[in-house]
Chain A
Amino acid sequence: MNVRIVWAGRNYDLAASLPDELTLPESASVDDALKMLSGCLPHNRRLPGTCLIAVSGTHLGCLQSHRNQPLKDGDELLVLWPVAGG
């Protein structure tokens, strides 16, 4: 199945080096997708645990503490690096 990826918030410029779609096994979960996405990051870069995670418009928590759930074909996985500029 294919899952769209939206990388947003702080350091969104990193998305230029990330895929905007992942191809995953049919039984894949959010954590499987996040693991694959982490492997695509440039060397020495990692996602902070405070990133918000959402699937197809539903917030699941933050990277370090979120609900894991099965994905389905056509889902959109959003990873939002929190922003605080004023």
Chain B
Amino acid sequence: MDLLKVEGLKAGYKGLNVLWDVDLSVKKNTIVSIIGSNGSGKTTLLNAIMGLVEISEGDVVFKGERINHLRTQERVTLGLAFVPSERELFPQMSVQDNLMLGAYTPRARRSIKDSLRQVYDFFPVLKERSNQLAGTMSGGEQQMLAIGRALMSLPELLILDELSTGLAPAVTLRIYRKLKGLSERMTVLLAEQNIHQAFMVSDYIYVLENGRIIASGSPDELSESSLIKNAYLGVKA
């Protein structure tokens, strides 16, 4: 079943359209990546799915419901969670308060204690620093906090923009493994610069260029395609 479906999406900013006729679907309990060079529109696409960028044409469908008209916080209540590339933490609040706010929706609030324990197990450094102000954490720690905050909402679909930003490769790898484990219960949509990691972790990949999907397929299918080999994997076909 498609948990998320994007159909004929056109979106952008005042006076500048960025995405053209984008189709994409994310099946339940899979990990799907969007790859593409800088400025290809990955962030814009994720923001449009979250309701942070306005859609001019097309549909975003989540759990069979068209959610174009819903505001971001309503989409979160429905079960979407987002780790923005800029992290968007609350710098003058403690790590723990940042996490608690991740469980703001009524559904998540009910199991806030369990979720907090799980996130602390996931990222022990957050537990050690639970009273530190988020703004004074290192870049990598802030990234972990942003991921932890998103997990606190018990999402059905976790959307991550550039998960690896600021993180040591070993940490990224560990998080990817964990996400893979979580995908029993959760579905993940990623925008990723790091093609090799995207290929390693994803069940399905979309390639975005200049605001259009130019290829898609399983990692195996895509690594057979000469186009992708040349442009992204650094392998001569």
Are the chains A and B members of one assembly? no
Could you list which residues of chain B lie within 8 angstroms of chain A, going by C-beta atoms? none
Could you list which residues of chain A lie within 8 angstroms of chain B, going by C-beta atoms? none
